[in-house]
């Protein structure tokens, strides 16, 4: 099956899905207030854009998302490298990791509110928590998975310090694994945005909760689709950057 055929089938499947979705409320099989048809979404989107609410919500969420992702991923990479390189660091943190890792990100919401208040920093904290563990374990595993023979060869050529081994051998070899963790974190962080904003921090999540309380389900769908579209763009850009960064492997 050619790529063009597969693309056509995917488009057909989407068109059929939208057609069925459109028909069910119009035929009275679904309550149009609770499940608005796709044809209602463009008008709702236009209304949100004209009012300025959409752009404000999107910019706020992107700010929380970007900051939380950078903080969580940065700490995850740093600690993952340290525990991957040094057995002492892993031993010191082993029980701490086992104790804290199983706690869901949402369980930190009460502390986020207590520590930061209903502020953007609280949302950043929740997002960073969700991202940290994914990147930490991916980085630790990638560092540990580097061929020991490569490390020994590097030492034989004079790269004996930890910094030299990291830059010359470990990071280049571990980068593909770290990038996989970072890509997973992109999605996790985006899913955490709504959870981080539903308690009142301005953004897409807050706007969705406001709309749902008024049964404005068409507006809720606008922001659901907005999040899907934004994540698609972010993921596409990351894949392109990943391909460029790892072009030496081709």
How far apart CA 199 and CA 217 sit, in angstroms, is 19
Domain ranges of the chain: 59-205
Query: Which tens digit of pLDDT belongs to each residue from 153-184?
Result: 666 656 566 666 777 777 788 888 899 999 99
Q: Assign a CATH topology to domain 59-205.
A: MetI-like fold (1.10.3720)
Query: Which tens digit of pLDDT belongs to each residue from 124-141?
Result: 999 999 899 999 999 998
| 3-class SS of residue 35 | coil
Per the listing, tokens 């939208």 go with 18
What pTM did the predictor assign? 0.85
Distance set, CA 90 to CA 49, 81, 97, 140 (Å): 49, 10, 9, 9
């Amino acid at each position: 099956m050619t790529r063009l055929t597969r693309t056509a089938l995917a488009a057909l499947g989407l068109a059929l899905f939208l057609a069925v979705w459109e028909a069910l409320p119009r035929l009275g099989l679904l309550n149009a207030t609770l499940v608005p048809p796709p044809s209602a979404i463009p008008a709702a989107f236009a209304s949100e854009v004209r009012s300025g609410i959409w752009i404000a919500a999107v910019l706020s969420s992107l700010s929380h998302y970007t900051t939380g992702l950078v903080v969580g991923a940065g700490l995850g990479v740093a600690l993952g490298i340290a525990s991957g390189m040094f057995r002492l660091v892993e031993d010191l943190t082993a029980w701490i990791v086992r104790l804290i890792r199983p706690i869901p990100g949402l369980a930190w919401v009460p502390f986020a509110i207590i520590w930061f208040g209903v502020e953007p920093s609280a949302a950043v904290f929740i997002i960073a928590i969700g991202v940290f563990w994914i990147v930490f374990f991916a980085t630790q595993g990638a560092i540990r998975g580097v061929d020991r023979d490569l490390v020994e060869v590097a030492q034989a050529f004079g790269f004996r310090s930890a910094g030299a081994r990291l830059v010359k051998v470990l990071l280049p070899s571990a980068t593909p694994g770290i990038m996989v963790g970072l890509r997973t974190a992109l999605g996790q962080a985006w899913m955490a945005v709504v959870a981080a904003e539903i308690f009142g921090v301005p953004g897409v999540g807050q706007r969705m909760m406001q709309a749902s309380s008024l049964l404005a389900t068409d507006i809720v769908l606008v922001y659901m689709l907005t999040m899907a579209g934004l994540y698609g763009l972010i993921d596409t850009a990351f894949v392109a950057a990943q391909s460029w960064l790892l072009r030496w492997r081709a």
